[in-house]
C-alpha cells in the first residue's frame, strides 16, 4: 500500500459528519471534506514531512484535508512557482489558503515575490492569499525591511475597497499584524487605517474601524512599549 493510500484510508476512518457540518458553519467549504480537525491532521502529517512527491499527490486528490496536508508536507525549497500558482488558483476555502501560507508559502523562495501578482487577481481566494501571506510574513519572516512593509501597506490601501468577505478579512488581518509588530510600524498602520476611515468604500471603513480598535488600545500599546525595552 502506498503512502497516499495509507493517508486516504486513515482519513476515511476518521470521517466525522458532525465536524463537517461545523466546518460549514465557520465558512469553510466542506464539499470534499472528511471533517478531520487540524490537530489530527498535524499528527497525521508528522511521519511524512518534506515528502514532496507525496504532497503533490495529496493535492491532486482534491480532498479538503489532503490539500491542507499537502501544504504541511511539501518541501518549501522544492516547490516550483508554477505549482504554487496552480495550487493558489485551486483554493476554494479560507482555511486551505491560510494553512498553505503558514506551513509552506512563507517558508518558500516566493514568500514576498508572489504577493503583488496574487493581489491583482480578481479571484477571491487568490487575492485573499496575498493578504494572508502579508500577515504571515509579518509574524514569521525575519528578513523583511521597512521597504517591504511600505509595499504591504500600499497594497492594503489599494485593495481595501474589496467587499468580498474573505478578502476584506484578510486585508484587515494583514493591517493589524503589521500594526502589532513595532511602534514605528504601529504608527504607519494607524495612519493607513485613519486614511481609510474616510473612504467611500464600506469595506475600507470596516477594515479601518476594526484595525484602529485593536491597534490603539492600551494593551497593544503597552505590549509594543515592552518590546522596545527588550
pLDDT tens digits, residue range 126-178?
A: 999 999 999 999 999 999 999 999 999 999 999 999 999 999 999 999 999 99
- Residue 230: the pLDDT is 64
Percentage of the chain lying above the pLDDT 90 cut: 90
Mean predicted lDDT score pLDDT of the chain: 96
Q: Are the C-beta atoms of 179 and 215 separated by less than 8 Å?
A: yes
Check pLDDT > 90 for residue 24: no
Mean pLDDT of 108-117: 98
Query: What are the grid coordinates assigned to 120, written together?
Result: 491583482
Mean pLDDT of 183-195: 97
Q: What angle, 0 to 180 degrees and rounded to 10, lies between the N-to-C axes of helices 94-103 and 81-90?
A: 160
Check pLDDT > 70 for residue 47: yes
Percentage of the chain lying above the pLDDT 70 cut: 99
- Residue 100: the pLDDT is 98
CATH architecture of 111-230: Alpha Horseshoe (1.25)
pTM score, two decimals? 0.95
- Residue 196: the pLDDT is 97
pLDDT in tens, 69-89: 999 999 999 999 999 999 999
Distances (CA, A) of 123 to 50, 90, 119, 120, 127: 29, 10, 9, 9, 6
Task: Give residue limits of the domains in the chain.
Answer: 1-93, 111-230
Amino acid at each position: 500500500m502506498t503512502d497516499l493510500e495509507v493517508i486516504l484510508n486513515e482519513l476515511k476512518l476518521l470521517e466525522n459528519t458532525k465536524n463537517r457540518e461545523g466546518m460549514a458553519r465557520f465558512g469553510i467549504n466542506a464539499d470534499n471534506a472528511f471533517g478531520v480537525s487540524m490537530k489530527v491532521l498535524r499528527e497525521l502529517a508528522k511521519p511524512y514531512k518534506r515528502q514532496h512527491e507525496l504532497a503533490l499527490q495529496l493535492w491532486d486528490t482534491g480532498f479538503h484535508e489532503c490539500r491542507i496536508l499537502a501544504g504541511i508536507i511539501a518541501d518549501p525549497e522544492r516547490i516550483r512557482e508554477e505549482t504554487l500558482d496552480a495550487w493558489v488558483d485551486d483554493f476554494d476555502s479560507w482555511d486551505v489558503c491560510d494553512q498553505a501560507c503558514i506551513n509552506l508559502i512563507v517558508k518558500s523562495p516566493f514568500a514576498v515575490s508572489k504577493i503583488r501578482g496574487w493581489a491583482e487577481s480578481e479571484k477571491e481566494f487568490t487575492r485573499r492569499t496575498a493578504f494572508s501571506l502579508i500577515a504571515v510574513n509579518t509574524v514569521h519572516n525575519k528578513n523583511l525591511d521597512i521597504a517591504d512593509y511600505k509595499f504591504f501597506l500600499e497594497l492594503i490601501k489599494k485593495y481595501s475597497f474589496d467587499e468580498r468577505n474573505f478578502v476584506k478579512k484578510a486585508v484587515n488581518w494583514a493591517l493589524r499584524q503589521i500594526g502589532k509588530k513595532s511602534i514605528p510600524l504601529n504608527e504607519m498602520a494607524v495612519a493607513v487605517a485613519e486614511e481609510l476611515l474616510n473612504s467611500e468604500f464600506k469595506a475600507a471603513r470596516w477594515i479601518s474601524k476594526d484595525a484602529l480598535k485593536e491597534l490603539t488600545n492600551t494593551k497593544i500599546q503597552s505590549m509594543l512599549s515592552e518590546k522596545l525595552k527588550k
